[in-house]
Amino acid sequence: MRSATATIRSAALRANLAQLRRLSQGAKVVAVVKADGYGHGLERVARILSDADAFGVAAIADGQRLRAAGHQQRIIVLSGPDEAADLAELRRLRLDAVIHHESQLRWLAADRDPRPLRVWLKIDTGMHRLGFAPERVREVHERLLAMPSVDRDIVFMTHFAASDEFDNAVTAEQIARFDAATQGLPGPRCLANSAGVLGWPAARGDWVRTGGLLYGLSVVAGKSGRDLGFEPVMSLSTRLIAINRLRRGERVGYAGTWECPEDMDVGVIAIGYGDGYPRSAAPGTPVLLGGRRLPIVGRVSMDLATIDLREAPDAHVGDRVLLWGDALPVEEIAERAGTIAYDLTCGMTKRVLFVED
Ligand SMILES: *Cc1c(COP(=O)(O)O)cnc(C)c1O
């Protein structure tokens, strides 16, 4: 059996939801579980967080999986219908749809389905990805209210482009545009993602939509999830499967990018980019063996990586090696690989064994 194992700590997930609730001060929480629960497993995360007020997904198929697992709360499809035919599926599964574009309004207007659809009206306050321009909000809201098959309890939402930069005035401007566009209109408000909850009290609204912090992933550059008061949920580990005595001057791995500076032991661990460990991890990226940080040497390959064992003379074949987790922040590995922690947890492949503790 391959040894690459992702361990998911359910207590940490639950503690992170509780911490988000405290910070959100009464706002309801949409637990964002898109991309297979940021790589932690959609059904698993939803089961552990079954008391979340709602779930947020990027695909109708994920909504279908959550309904099949028996979850009854609201499920918001964050980009709504991609085509007119999606409307029937959204209604059948009782999914909420984010409505962000004129084309979706036309599909809705032409739709004669009597089952009420709950919609979240998305306003583009500066992200310039999805959403109606602020000056169109009143008109769009009126059109939606006039549609018999649209539920009248419409949620106003927007998304931040830089809420992780706590001193960046762009977020304050987005909040001001949102407030102006929705002023006097009845209905709940939803602005904040994880970083919005942490750094922008004015953005709390009636609902928050949080992903990263639920999983204990940092949303602030240079900090770990734990630095921000959240517990890492995933740890990735594998085993040492070979120890090789190499001589000074011998080269390790594809293209021989690393040369032994002296006679030394090099360890081989059963992890590679075929498991989702980043090929871009720079030489020197640490792993943890028996509490000691040891550097990766040479290139990460599909199934294997190699580590410098000079600081671990007592290492044995079969020892567990931690790639990231509580004692080795995934943020640090992401930084070495030129990416963010979200990218690493989302990248776990099917051959990684998932266990819960
Ligand atoms: C992914 C996503 C979120 C969650 O963002 P985090 O930074 O992970 O909390 C919230 N809203 C929308 C629209 C998203 O796409």
Q: Give per-residue pLDDT as tens, 212-260.
A: 999 999 999 999 999 999 999 999 999 999 999 999 999 999 999 999 9
At 350, the pLDDT band (50, 70, 90 cuts) reads very high
Q: Give per-residue pLDDT as tens, 41-68.
A: 999 999 999 999 999 999 999 999 999 9
Q: Which of 209, 210, 218, 342 to mutate to test the pocket of ligand 1 (most atoms within 8 A of CB)?
A: 209
236 lines ligand 1 (CB under 6 A): no
Q: Give per-residue pLDDT as tens, 144-193.
A: 999 999 999 999 999 999 999 999 999 999 999 999 999 999 999 999 99
Q: Give per-residue pLDDT as tens, 185-209.
A: 999 999 999 999 999 999 999 999 9
We find that the CATH architecture of domain 234-356 is Beta Barrel (2.40)
Instruction: Identify each DSSP E strand in the chain by its residue range.
Output: 5-8, 28-32, 54-57, 74-77, 96-99, 119-123, 155-158, 189-190, 207-210, 234-246, 251-252, 258-259, 264-269, 286-289, 292-297, 305-308, 320-324, 353-356
Distance CA 55, CA 64 (A): 12
Eight-state DSSP code of residue 355: E
- What pLDDT is stored for residue 1 in this prediction? 80
At 336, the pLDDT band (50, 70, 90 cuts) reads very high
Which residue in the block uniquely carries the two structure tokens 């922690």? Answer: 341
Q: Are 314 and 290 spatial neighbours (Cβ–Cβ below 8 Å)?
A: yes
What tokens does 236 get?
Answer: 């990735």
Nearest atom of ligand 1 to the alpha carbon of 197: 9
**Average of pLDDT values for 65-76?**
98
Eight-state DSSP code of residue 152: S
28, 34, 215, 273: the active-site residue: 34
Give residue 33 CA to ligand 1 midpoint distance, Å: 9
Nearest atom of ligand 1 to the alpha carbon of 122: 13
- What pLDDT is stored for residue 51 in this prediction? 96
Nearest to 251 by CA among 241, 259, 240: 259
- What pLDDT is stored for residue 208 in this prediction? 98
122 has catalytic annotation? no
Q: Give per-residue pLDDT as tens, 89-146.
A: 999 999 999 999 999 999 999 999 989 999 999 999 999 999 999 999 999 999 999 9
- What pLDDT is stored for residue 2 in this prediction? 83
Eight-state DSSP code of residue 281: P
277 has catalytic annotation? no
Nearest to 205 by CA among 287, 115, 120: 120
At 262, the pLDDT band (50, 70, 90 cuts) reads very high
- For residue 168, give Cα distances in angstroms to 68, 162, 165, 173, 323: 42, 7, 5, 9, 33
78 lines ligand 1 (CB under 6 A): yes
38, 215, 254, 277: the active-site residue: 254
Distance CA 227, CA 218 (A): 8
199 lines ligand 1 (CB under 6 A): no
- Contacts for 58-65: CB closer than 8 Å, 24+ residues apart: 58/34, 59/34, 60/86, 60/89, 60/90, 60/93, 60/95, 62/33, 62/34, 63/90, 63/93, 63/95, 64/89, 64/93
What tokens does 35 get?
Answer: 């991309």
Residues paired with 286 in a beta bridge? 295
pLDDT at 211 over 90: yes
Which residue in the block uniquely carries the two structure tokens 């580990």? Answer: 237
Nearest to 116 by CA among 90, 141, 138, 98: 90
Domain boundaries, the chain: 10-217, 234-356
CATH topology assigned to domain 10-217: TIM Barrel (3.20.20)
pLDDT at 16 over 90: yes
pLDDT at 7 over 90: yes
Query: Per residue in 97-122, is it b (16+ CB within 10 Å) or e — as a string?
Result: bbbbbeebbebbeebeeeeebbbbbb
Give residue 136 CA to ligand 1 midpoint distance, Å: 23
Q: Which amino acid is at 246?
A: L
Report residue 251 CA to chain centroid gap: 38
At 276, the pLDDT band (50, 70, 90 cuts) reads very high
Distance CA 192, CA 196 (A): 4
What tokens does 280 get?
Answer: 């871009």
**Average of pLDDT values for 287-311?**
97
What tokens does 322 get?
Answer: 């931690």
Question: Nearest 5 degrees, angle CA 180-CA 181-CA 187?
Answer: 105
- What pLDDT is stored for residue 63 in this prediction? 98
